[in-house]
């Protein structure tokens, strides 16, 4: 038998010695870690960085949660796995289809392929929206896989999750969906699973509720990363091979008066062309919009008449705070997007600006703090921390957050 096998066109080691743990710390702009470290609140992370690596990687574009979580767990961008947002638009029917169903996933996950060759897998996510995608292809009848969310931890069954009575087992009640506890639950479960379940591969994915509300260095943010540091220290001391990365960064996107900084692109295009000529789609939109009001820095536009392409591109280019405007073909090549789930045009806004559709379509009533969001190029730079020196990483090659399992497994395979 060969030592390695292929998953989505990359070679991974079949066997390795330590438990591989990849943690996706949702929305962790580098400055969050740096500020907490400066305040001496992350002694374990400091130690890990000292003995290992603190690199920067790019996320997949758009720099949203689902596309990046799925990139991390397949080792490839969305041109390969197909999940390029929370939903996609079907121009023929006018339907907007949520992409949290595994039928839209076009590549196997790394977990599914390792499960097939006998590995033991543990997956914990904060929000339930990711769970079915992460657990796709796993079977829960032989005590070799479990996959659950903190959000619906009370509803887990042996049949669907490989574990039940989670709240009793962990000694933690079901957390509120908008809370620090939702992410803490994931970390606490990860530590307990490492002790009691001893998986070969574990993936822990938190939520960015805190990062949407508080800037780096804020007392609440510092407390969050300090909490995280405690669990990281435990995983490290138990011998896990760790890679800590993020799905995307996070930037302030509000005006001085605290109101959101947004270009309502649908309104703009309806004025410039007539209504119905263009359809602005914001793939950040999902049922959990309280903390960002569906305002991010990426939009894709569908045209009723393809002959309008150049005119619409030129019109969007006139908008000062939109930095990138590309037609579909250029966009898909440049940012590895799936052509059939991308509009005729994509655009991304500048560092402190977001793109909305029509003003009246955004419910901003839940935004109690100045808007912080992501989605574009300014939030694609993310930390990539490894608790071991890795001289195999070529500094001249672009590193991606979706290289996390590749290097975690490589690191676990050598003593």
Whether the bond into 62 is cis, omega within 30 of 0: yes
Taking the least distance from each CB to Zn ion, the nearer of 65 and 373 is: 65
| Rounded least distance, CB 65 to Zn ion, Å | 3
Tell me which stretch binds Zn ion (CB under 5 A): 23-31, 55-63, 127-135, 336-344: 23-31
| Rounded least distance, CB 3 to Zn ion, Å | 35
Using CB under 5 A as the binding criterion, the count of chain residues that bind Zn ion stands at 5
Name 384's Cβ contacts closer than 8 Å, sequence gap at least 6. Answer: 53, 54, 55, 56, 57, 243, 244, 245, 399, 401, 403, 404
Q: Is 379 in the site for Zn ion (CB under 5 A)?
A: no
The H-assigned helical ranges of 103-179 are 110-116, 131-134, 158-161, 166-170
**147-166 positions binding Zn ion, by CB under 5 A:** none
Taking the least distance from each CB to Zn ion, the nearer of 25 and 265 is: 25
Report how far residue 78's alpha carbon sits from residue 67's, in angstroms, rounded to the nearest whole number.
Answer: 7
Q: Is 125 in the site for Zn ion (CB under 5 A)?
A: no
Radius of gyration of the chain (CA): 21
| Rounded least distance, CB 25 to Zn ion, Å | 9
Tell me which stretch binds Zn ion (CB under 5 A): 50-58, 60-68, 137-145, 280-288: 60-68
Q: Is 65 in the site for Zn ion (CB under 5 A)?
A: yes
| Rounded least distance, CB 274 to Zn ion, Å | 36
| Rounded least distance, CB 248 to Zn ion, Å | 5
Contact 288, 66 (CB under 8 A): no
Q: Is 112 in the site for Zn ion (CB under 5 A)?
A: no
Strands 20-24, 241-245: parallel, antiparallel or unpaired by DSSP?
A: parallel
Taking the least distance from each CB to Zn ion, the nearer of 26 and 200 is: 26
Tell me which stretch binds Zn ion (CB under 5 A): 36-44, 98-106, 244-252, 398-406: 244-252
Angle, in degrees to the nearest 10, between helices 265-272 and 309-317: 120
Tell me which stretch binds Zn ion (CB under 5 A): 155-163, 240-248, 283-291, 331-339: 240-248
| Torsion, Cα of 178, 180, 186, 191 (10° steps) | -170
Is 243 buried (19+), middle (13-18) or exposed (0-12) by CB count in 10 A? buried
Report how far residue 251's alpha carbon sits from residue 273's, in angstroms, rounded to the nearest whole number.
Answer: 31
Q: Is 26 in the site for Zn ion (CB under 5 A)?
A: yes
Strands 345-349, 4-7: parallel, antiparallel or unpaired by DSSP?
A: unpaired
Q: Please, what is the end-to-end C-alpha distance for the chain in angstroms?
A: 21
| Rounded least distance, CB 66 to Zn ion, Å | 8
Report how far residue 55's alpha carbon sits from residue 18's, in angstroms, rounded to the nearest whole number.
Answer: 22
Tell me the residue nearest to Zn ion as measured from the CB. 65
Tell me which stretch binds Zn ion (CB under 5 A): 88-96, 98-106, 241-249, 281-289: 241-249
**293-332 positions binding Zn ion, by CB under 5 A:** none
Cα–Cα distance list, 339 to 229, 327, 343 (Å) = 40, 11, 8
| Rounded least distance, CB 284 to Zn ion, Å | 10
Tell me which stretch binds Zn ion (CB under 5 A): 4-12, 21-29, 165-173, 332-340: 21-29
Taking the least distance from each CB to Zn ion, the nearer of 184 and 208 is: 208
Report how far residue 406's alpha carbon sits from residue 404's, in angstroms, rounded to the nearest whole number.
Answer: 5
Contact 139, 147 (CB under 8 A): no
Q: In the set 112, 164, 208, 286, which binds Zn ion (CB under 5 A)?
A: 208
Q: In the set 236, 247, 286, 403, which binds Zn ion (CB under 5 A)?
A: 247
Q: Which residues of the chain form contacts with Zn ion (CB under 5 A)?
A: 26-27, 65, 208, 247
């Amino acid at each position: 038998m060969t030592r390695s096998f292929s998953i989505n066109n990359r070679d991974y080691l079949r066997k390795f010695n330590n438990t591989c743990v990849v943690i996706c710390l949702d929305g962790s702009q580098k400055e969050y870690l740096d500020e907490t470290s400066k305040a001496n609140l992350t002694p374990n992370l400091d130690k890990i960085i000292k003995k290992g690596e603190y690199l920067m990687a790019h996320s997949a574009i758009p720099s949203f949660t689902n596309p990046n979580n799925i990139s991390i767990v397949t080792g490839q961008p969305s041109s390969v796995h197909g999940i390029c947002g929370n939903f996609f638009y079907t121009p023929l029917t006018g339907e907007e289809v949520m992409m949290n169903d595994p039928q839209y996933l076009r590549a196997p996950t790394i977990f599914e392929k390792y499960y097939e060759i006998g590995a033991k897998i543990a997956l914990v996510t904060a929000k339930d929206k990711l769970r079915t995608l992460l657990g796709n292809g796993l079977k829960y009848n032989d005590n070799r896989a479990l996959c659950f969310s903190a959000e619906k931890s009370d509803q887990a069954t042996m049949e669907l999750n490989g574990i039940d009575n989670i709240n009793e087992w962990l000694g933690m009640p079901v957390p509120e969906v908008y809370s620090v506890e939702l992410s803490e639950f994931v970390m606490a479960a990860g530590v307990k699973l490492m002790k009691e379940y001893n998986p070969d591969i574990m993936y822990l994915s938190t939520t960015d509720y805190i990062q949407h509300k508080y800037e780096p260095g804020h007392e609440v943010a510092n407390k969050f990363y300090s909490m995280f540091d405690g669990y990281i220290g435990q995983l490290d001391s138990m011998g896990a091979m760790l890679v800590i990365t993020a799905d995307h960064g996070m930037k302030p996107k509000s005006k001085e008066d605290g109101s959101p900084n947004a270009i309502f692109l649908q309104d703009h295009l309806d004025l410039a062309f007539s209504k119905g000529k263009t359809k602005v789609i914001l793939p950040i939109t999902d049922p959990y919009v309280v903390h960002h009001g569906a305002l991010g820095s990426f939009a894709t536009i569908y045209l009723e008449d393809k002959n309008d392409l150049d005119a619409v591109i030129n019109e969007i280019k006139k908008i000062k705070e939109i930095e990138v405007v590309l037609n579909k073909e250029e966009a898909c090549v440049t940012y590895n997007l799936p052509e059939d789930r991308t509009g005729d045009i994509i655009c991304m806004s500048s560092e402190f600006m977001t793109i909305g559709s029509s003003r009246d379509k955004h419910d901003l009533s839940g935004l109690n703090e100045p808007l912080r969001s992501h989605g574009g190029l300014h939030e694609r730079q993310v930390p990539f921390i490894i608790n071991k020196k890795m001289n195999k990483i070529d500094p001249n090659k672009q590193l991606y957050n979706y290289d996390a399992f590749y290097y975690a497994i490589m690191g676990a395979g050598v003593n």
